[in-house]
Amino acid sequence: MGTKTISIMDDAYKLLLINKIKNESFSDVLRRLLSKKRDIMEFAGVWKNVSEEEIKELKNEIKKIRRKSTEDLLKK
């Protein structure tokens, strides 16, 4: 198996260190963290304490982001 050299920012390196288990390589850390399958049921009920006003604000923010990304795409 080959190897690759990558450059990462200091904050990303610190995150890797924080998540590293004793005797684990950085490749092992990345494999463990990035290949983790999430069960959709983990998210069930997460939004139950969000008010109608907060939901309205979130929807408006999403619309703004979508509008801007569409505009950016059309400029290219």
DSSP per residue over 56-67, as a string?
Answer: HHHHHHHHHHHH
Tens-level pLDDT at each residue, the chain (76 residues): 799 999 999 999 999 999 999 999 999 999 999 998 888 888 888 878 888 899 999 999 999 999 999 998 998 7
Cα distance between residue 33 and residue 21, in whole Å: 12
Q: What's the pTM value of the predicted model, to 2 decimals?
A: 0.47
* 55-62 contacts at long range (C-beta below 8 A, 24 or more positions apart): none
Question: Which candidate, 18, 19, 14, 43, places its Cα nearest to that of 31?
Answer: 19
